[in-house]
């Protein structure tokens, strides 16, 4: 009895797939596009974060270059002891 149910289910699934294969292919294609879109959004946010860090580094190096042109030493010790 259960064997007939199993094979009946397999037959029904096979019939469904053969009748609706175009819809199934389109569904999985859209699913893959959705996943790729999510990966691209994540990559974009990470690249924006990296670009923000690079702009900070660029501002720092520009300031160091300006100090070099003005003859200022790069590192100045602060007098934290009040002497």
Q: Is the dihedral of CA 72, 77, 82, 83 positive or negative?
A: negative
Flag whether 40 is in a domain. Answer: yes
Q: How far apart are CA 27 and CA 56, in angstroms?
A: 44
Helix H, strand E, coil C: the string for 13-82 is HHHHHHHCHHHHHHHHHHHHHHHHHHHHHHHHHHHHHHHHHHHHHHHHHHHHHHHHHHCCCCCCCCCCCC
Q: What is the pLDDT of residues 45-82, one digit of tens each?
A: 999 988 888 888 777 777 777 666 666 655 555 656 65
**% of the chain exceeding 90 in pLDDT:** 25
* pLDDT at residue 19, as a whole number: 85
* pLDDT at residue 77, as a whole number: 58
Confidence band of 29 (pLDDT split at 50, 70, 90): very high
| pTM as predicted | 0.47
* pLDDT at residue 11, as a whole number: 79
Flag whether 20 is in a domain. Answer: no
Flag whether 60 is in a domain. Answer: yes
Flag whether 45 is in a domain. Answer: yes
In which domain, by residue range, is 59 found? 30-67
Higher per-residue confidence, 40 vs 81? 40
């Amino acid at each position: 009895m259960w064997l007939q149910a199993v094979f009946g289910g397999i037959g029904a699934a096979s019939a469904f797939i053969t009748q609706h294969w175009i819809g199934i292919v389109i569904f999985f294609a859209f699913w893959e596009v959705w996943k790729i879109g999510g990966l691209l959004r994540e990559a974009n946010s990470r690249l924006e974060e990296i670009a923000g860090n690079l702009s900070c580094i660029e501002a720092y190096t520009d300031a160091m270059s300006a100090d070099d042109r003005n003859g200022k030493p790069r590192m100045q010790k602060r007098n934290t002891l009040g002497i």
